[in-house]
Chain A
Amino acid sequence: MRKEELTVAIYSGNIPSTTFIENLIEGMAESGMNIVLFGKMNRRVSYYGNVKIIPTPQNTPALALFVLKESVKMIARDRRKFAKLYSSVRKRTGSPRQFLRDMGAMLPIINEDPGIFHVQWAKTVQVYPELFEHLTGKIAVSLRGAHINYSPLNDPSLADAYRKYFPGVSAFHAVSEAIKLEAAKYGADPDKTTVIHTSVRDELMNTPPKEVKRDGKFRLISVGRFHWKKGYHYGLDAMNILKKKGVECQYDIVAQGDVPEEIQFLLNEYDLNNSVSILPGMEHSKLMEKVRSSDALLLPSVEEGIANVVLEAMAAGVPVLTTDCGGMNEVVKDGENGFITRVRDAEAMAAKVELLARMNPEQVSSITGSARETVRMGFTRELQKKNFAAFYNKLAA
Chain B
Amino acid sequence: MSAEPAAPGPAGAGLAGVRPEPGVAKPDPILVVDGVARYFGGLRAVDVDHLEVQRGTITSLIGPNGAGKSTFFNLVTGFDKPNQGRWTFEGQQLAGVPAYRIARRGMVRTFQLTKTLGRLTTIENVKLGATGQRGEHFLPAIFRPSWAHQEREIEARADELLERFNLAHMRNEFAGTMSGGQRKLLEMARALMVHPRLLMLDEPMAGVNPALTQSLLGHITALRDDGMTIILVEHDMDVVMGVSDWVACFAEGRLIAEGTPRDIRANKAVIDAYLGSSRALPEETAPVDPAQPDEVEDTP
Asked if A and B are interacting partners, one says no
